[in-house]
Amino acid sequence: MKYLLEHLKHYKKESILAPLFKMLEALFDLFVPIVVADIINVGIGNQDNVYIMQRCGILVLLALVGIGCSFTAQFFAARASVGCAARLRHSLFAHIQKLGYSEIDTIGTSTLITRMTSDINQVQNGINMVLRLFLRSPFIVFGAMIMAFTIDVKIALVFLAAIPVLSVIIFGIMKITSPLYKKIQGRLDGVLGITRENLTGVRVIRAFGKEESEVERFEKNNNQLTSMQLHVGHISALMNPLTYVVVNLAIIAILKMGATSINSGVLLSGDVVALVNYMSQILVELVKLANLIVLLSKAMASLHRVQDVLDTEPSMKFVENAVQANENNAYGNEAVGFENVSLTYAGAGEESLTNISFSAKKGQTIGVIGGTGSGKSSLVNLIPRFYDATAGQVRVMGKPVKEWGREELRSSVSVVMQKAQLFTGTIRSNLLWGNTEATDEELWKALELAQAAEFVHAKPRGLDEVVEQGGRNFSGGQKQRLTIARALVKQPDILILDDSASALDFATDAALRKALATLPDYITVFIVSQRTSSLKHADRILVLDDGQIADQGTHEELLERCDVYREIYESQFKKGEMH
């Protein structure tokens, strides 16, 4: 709730005026039964048409003023709810950007999307309805009861008995349904996760003919969500009939007691009509309040889910205003150093990296190779500090990586991920992610180094060629080359290519390696690859096996003494040499 109040305080005026105008509307509604009673008792009783017309004019005036108050209240409520939800969504998005890979892995992408969209929409609707009805409905309920006491104290006791019974029904059902709505949102996360997985992997699903099994899996999870929603709906549906039964019994009691009072001359018929009108108003408002409670239960469940993310503290703390590392560091010309480094992912039972130690000098090219799951990506992800080592120390430019500021570290290290990711815009806008101040000359130079200049030149608009969502209008190899170019535009001190040339043919891969060899001497390059041909010219190759360094050295040295490296090499080249 603290996050909601924090953002709602920017809309204090709207949050006060919206319920205020709604209460004014309610006040005018409470006058209506009294005017109707006067029409019956005086106008109709005395057959005074002028009096009836005057009172009808008052009713029209009350209606017009009520509509004006209602529109004004709706305007302020909408402004406050939409504005608060927008700020909350912005705050959530900004907080997610601060979370480390570990927290995002733990929470899950699908649930983050649900909380950014569906959950905050529920909160927005809840704020809107609370500002409009939360004070109006109780005001009408208690106001109608007070007005009933002004007409007849004895009959008003019916109101006094009915209201607590109605409150027990409403708040009892709310207590049952509130936790269930939270579970429903969790089920929605699961359905969204399956949907996202199927849409992103649709080609693989079709390639393996798994459409039917995936439809069944989706239906199973969707049916579980539906059954839970129906279960909550059935419980919530009890609210209206139960409240109607209580209110109608109260109306019957009013009519019976009213008839006796009329016969004895204590009340006039108009007064009984006014009492019935007040009870009807209570019914309408309690039904509104019941629906508000249901909506509020959903909104509170959604707000708790949003708060869970906002309360998640980033495990990584970056140094503010960190000073750049000295060129002459204590470790000589070292660019990257690992000292007895181990890594265990959150929730994992075993270490992904164990006791890793090596040193990379400035200007060197370091190759990283190993079998699937050997920890190659885990190793290079520690350099830009996407994850924190659970043991040992990682150094960048001679300084422990934890002593670097976020901006300083990320500007010194440029990473090309395994999965090439482009963003909606143009080729130019994607390349400028690396350096917003880069000139066209620098962009073309980066494209040439990445072996992407040829196909970009062939595009009708060149650098201004449109990039669709996810870069779907480019081939896999083109996307990889553009992401490499984006990293080169940054002009980093350390360049990490995490299996980022897997979609390139051997000729293009060779041309890329030749171009990378022309980079300035101060740039240290890490190349993660499954191909020994991509690493054979590296100054040093790290061979990983089951999270440990099996050996390290040059291509020739490893062929002589490292069984793991030799096995990988021979699996790729020996058969080809036999032809």
pLDDT at position 579, please?
Answer: 33
**What is the maximum span of the chain, computed from C-alpha positions, in angstroms?**
118
Please tell me the number of Cα atoms within 13 Å of 338 on its side-chain side.
26
Nearest to 97 by CA among 304, 302, 312: 312
Pair of tokens at residue 398: 């001679």
pLDDT at position 234, please?
Answer: 87
Task: Write the pLDDT tens digit of every residue in 105-123.
Answer: 788 777 888 888 888 998 9
Instruction: Tell me if 511 sits within 8 A of 447, measured CB to CB.
Output: no
Confidence tier at 578 by pLDDT (50, 70, 90) = very low
Instruction: Tell me if 103 sits within 8 A of 312, measured CB to CB.
Output: yes
State the average pLDDT over residues 342-346: 87
Alpha-carbon gap, residue 478 to 438, rounded angstroms: 21
Mean pLDDT (the chain) is 86
Task: Write the pLDDT tens digit of every residue in 473-498.
Answer: 888 888 989 999 999 998 889 999 98
Q: Is 306 exposed, middle or buried (0-12, 13-18, 19+ CB in 10 A)?
A: buried
Answer whether residue 472 shows pLDDT above 90: no
330 φ, ψ (degrees, to nearest 5): -65, -15
Question: Where do the H-state alpha helices sit in 337-435?
Answer: 376-381, 406-412, 427-431
pLDDT at position 65, please?
Answer: 92
Q: Report the percentage of the chain scoring pLDDT > 90.
A: 21
- 553 contact partners, CB below 8 Å, separation of at least 6: 540, 541, 561, 562
The residue to which tokens 């659970």 are assigned: 390
pLDDT at position 276, please?
Answer: 86
Instruction: Tell me if 391 sits within 8 A of 341, measured CB to CB.
Output: yes
pLDDT at position 332, please?
Answer: 65
Task: Write the pLDDT tens digit of every residue in 533-575.
Answer: 888 888 999 999 888 999 999 999 999 888 889 888 888 876 4
Confidence tier at 329 by pLDDT (50, 70, 90) = low
Answer whether residue 325 shows pLDDT above 60: no
Nearest to 267 by CA among 255, 279, 259, 256: 259
Confidence tier at 170 by pLDDT (50, 70, 90) = confident
Question: Where do the H-state alpha helices sit in 311-381?
Answer: 376-381
Would you list the DSSP string of 26-69? HHHHHHHHHHHHHIIIIIITTT-HHHHHHHHHHHHHHHHHHHHH
Confidence tier at 576 by pLDDT (50, 70, 90) = very low
| Length of the chain, in residues | 579
411 φ, ψ (degrees, to nearest 5): -80, -25
State the average pLDDT over residues 510-527: 88
Handedness of CA 537, 541, 545, 551 (dihedral sign): positive
Task: Write the pLDDT tens digit of every residue in 184-197.
Answer: 877 887 887 888 78
Alpha-carbon gap, residue 571 to 152, rounded angstroms: 98
Helix, strand, coil shares of the chain, percent, nearest 5, are 65, 10, 20
State the average pLDDT over residues 517-543: 88
Handedness of CA 383, 386, 388, 389 (dihedral sign): negative
Higher pLDDT, 148 or 89: 89
Pair of tokens at residue 377: 């990506």
State the average pLDDT over residues 194-211: 84
